[in-house]
Structure 1
Amino acid sequence: MGASFATERRLLSEEEVGFVRRSHMPALAALTPEEALETARWLRERHARAQGKVRDLRRARRGKSPGDGAPSERGLAAKKQVFARALKRLNGKLGA
């Protein structure tokens, strides 16, 4: 089951919420192909960034790299999943 809007808002900043909202209906249907592509690029970049942070935290926990006192892995992993779900919705529009 997907995350609710309230859960997404809690995990994301205001800027991030704006981009993720574009991936939900009816805003998704109103996007032009250029806007959808721009949004997908932005979401991919944020997803990759969150993925890298999660990977770094896991490495630090195993003692393979120094920890930097970053936020919890659990919250970052949830944020990464929000971006992944938004990308999945956008990719459906871009492929159609």
Structure 2
Amino acid sequence: MNLEIIKADMKRVEDRSFVGSTVFTLENHSSPYEITFFSTRGTEWDYSLSFAGEPGSEEQFLEVDALLENDDDVYNQLLDAALDTQEIPEEEA
């Protein structure tokens, strides 16, 4: 299944936790998706999946949710896309 990343971002917020997201499309799916990531330390991540725009097929949404749960490579590709956009403050470099 071909995955295309449309945009991604990751920020460190005031409490030093990480919040980011990746918008992506999948081949043969009618709507783009957005996965939002959250981590207090940047090591273990929680995520939330939603449609990036107008809602699409619930069946396709559930397929993507199952894909993220079962395919670490796809999940990591989306997380890495967000992490790659993060700017490291000079005091941490």
Which structure features the higher share of helix residues?
A: 1
Common fold, TM-score beyond 0.5? no
Q: Compute the TM-score of the two structures, normalised by the length of structure 2.
A: 0.30
Question: Highest Rg: 1 or 2?
Answer: 1
- Scaled by the length of structure 1, the TM-score of the pair is 0.29
**Higher relative contact order by CA 8 Å / sep ≥ 6: 1 or 2?**
1
